[in-house]
């Protein structure tokens, strides 16, 4: 989406609900007056606590769900409390204001694949609900492979099942589903006779592992990065990642190691991502 005119709305919304789902996970609904520019699945919102300088900067969150009722828009975010902003956000109440700017980033590419395998780790399921909303009603089959530390960390599973997504859980402690790494499930659900697209979001080691499997199976693979950000607008260059940036297919990754002749460059996660072709990232 970089290089083209982007429509971004900045403003202040009102928290409608901020509900605790598990020990560290919350579902926040933000009511925004009027409409937002069209949001693609995988795009994100920057949220900032108003009238404060600590934390000073906003933080990025995947847009989990969005709905409009004519004169207002309701934006839904699911977040895990990990630090200053998210812990303070968890203390916010219905009626509190919250600054936002959105939609940001590129979102997932359109696909005609027959089987869409979404691989999520930790809080990485969040960008996939809108993607499933878009594709579950087509003739594509949607599978969510969702790995968390334990069953208490698995959030939103029913939202996916209600859309007809086939959900497979994996937990580190064996409290639900497969006991082990979520990426082990890719080869179990993959059907070679179906054109398949892999999409991943979660911690970087999990993304790398999913990419290695996709490459072994010769499958297209997009990953959504959770890189830390400052502006979210492409201005500060605080979110760059190394990419193989040539235009030709020779530049896509056949190994994980960079080679001297490769065309390596930097890309801003907030502008050129957060979704990247996994074959073009420097792992």
Ligand X SMILES: Cc1cc2nc3c(=O)[nH]c(=O)nc-3n(C[C@H](O)[C@H](O)[C@H](O)COP(=O)(O)OP(=O)(O)OC[C@H]3O[C@@H](n4cnc5c(N)ncnc54)[C@H](O)[C@@H]3O)c2cc1C
Q: Which residues contact ligand X (rule: CB under 6 A)? A: 44, 55, 59-62, 77-80, 82-86, 123, 126, 226-229, 274
- Identify the three-state secondary structure at position 272: coil
Q: Which does 232 bind (CB under 5 to 8 A by kind): ligand FES, ligand X, none?
A: ligand FES
231 lies in the site for ligand FES, by CB under 6 A: yes
Q: Which is nearer to ligand FES, 237 or 263 (CB)?
A: 237
Instruction: Report the residue closest to ligand X, judged by CB.
Output: 83
Supply the minimum distance, in Å, between the C-beta of residue 194 and ligand X: 29
Using the rule CB under 6 A, which residue among 19, 56, 82, 235 binds ligand FES? Answer: 235
Pick what 59 binds: ligand FES, ligand X, none; C-beta below 5 to 8 Å, kind-dependent: ligand X
Interacting partner of 213 out of ligand FES, ligand X, none (Cβ under 5 to 8 A depending on kind): none
130: exposed, middle or buried (Cβ count in 10 Å: 0-12, 13-18, 19+): buried
Site string for ligand FES, 32-71 (x = CB under 6 A): ----------------------------------------
The single residue listed with the structure tokens 């199976």 is 217
Q: Is 90 within 8 Å of 35 (Cβ atoms)?
A: no
Rounded to an integer, what distance in angstroms lies between the CA atom of residue 213 and that of residue 201?
A: 15
Q: Which of 141/268 has CB closer to ligand FES?
A: 268
Give DSSP secondary structure letters for 138-201. TT-EEEEEEEESSGGG--SHHHHHHTT-EEEEEESSSSSSEES-GGGGHHHH--TTS-EEEEEE
Burial (CB count within 10 angstroms: exposed 0-12, middle 13-18, buried 19+), residue 23: exposed
Interacting residue with ligand FES among 121, 122, 147, 232 (CB under 6 A): 232
Any contact of residue 278 with ligand FES (CB under 6 A)?
no
Q: Supply 162's token pair.
A: 């209600």
Binding partner of 82, given ligand FES, ligand X, none, CB within 5-8 angstroms per partner class: ligand X
- Residue 259 exposed, middle or buried by CB count within 10 Å (0-12, 13-18, 19+): exposed
Residue among 215 and 274 whose Cβ is closer to ligand X: 274
Nearer to ligand X, 22 or 175 (CB): 22
Residue 3 backbone phi and psi in degrees, to 5: 90, -15
Minimal distance, residue 259 CB to ligand X, in Å:
28
Tokens 């989406």: give the residue: 1
- Taking the alpha carbons at both ends of the chain, their separation in whole angstroms is 23
Question: Is 242 a binder of ligand FES (CB under 6 A)?
Answer: no
Question: How near is the Cβ of 201 to ligand X at its closest, in Å?
Answer: 8
Query: What minimum distance in Å lies between the beta carbon of 92 and ligand X?
Result: 13
DSSP 137: T
Residue 229 tokens, joined: 């950000």
Residues within the interface to ligand FES (CB under 6 A): 229-232, 234-239, 268, 270
């Amino acid at each position: 989406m970089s290089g083209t005119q982007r429509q971004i709305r900045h403003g202040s919304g009102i928290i409608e609900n901020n509900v605790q789902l598990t020990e560290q996970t919350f579902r926040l609904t933000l009511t925004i007056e009027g409409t937002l520019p069209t949001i693609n699945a995988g795009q994100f919102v920057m949220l900032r606590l108003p009238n404060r300088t600590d934390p000073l900067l906003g933080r990025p969150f995947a847009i989990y769900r969005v709905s409009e009722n004519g004169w207002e828009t309701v934006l839904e975010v699911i977040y895990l409390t990990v630090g200053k902003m998210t812990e303070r956000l968890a203390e916010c109440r219905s009626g509190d204001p919250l600054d936002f700017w959105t939609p940001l980033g590129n979102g997932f590419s359109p696909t005609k694949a027959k089987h869409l395998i979404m691989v999520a780790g930790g809080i990485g399921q969040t960008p996939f609900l809108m993607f499933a909303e878009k594709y579950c009603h087509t003739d594509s089959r949607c599978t969510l492979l969702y790995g968390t530390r334990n069953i208490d960390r698995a959030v939103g599973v029913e939202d996916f099942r209600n859309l007809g997504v086939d959900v497979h859980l994996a937990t580190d402690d064996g409290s639900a589903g497969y006991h082990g790494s979520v990426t082990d499930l890719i080869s179990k659900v993959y059907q070679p006779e179906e054109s398949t697209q892999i999409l991943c979001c979660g911690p970087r080691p999990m993304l790398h592992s999913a990419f290695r499997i996709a490459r072994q199976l010769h499958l297209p693979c997009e990953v959504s990065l959770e890189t830390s950000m400052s502006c979210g607008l492409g201005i500060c260059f605080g979110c760059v990642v190394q990419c193989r940036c040539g235009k030709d297919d020779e530049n896509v990754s056949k190994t994980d190691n960079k080679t001297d002749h490769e065309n390596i460059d930097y890309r801003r996660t907030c502008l050129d991502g957060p979704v990247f072709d996994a074959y073009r990232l420097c792992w």
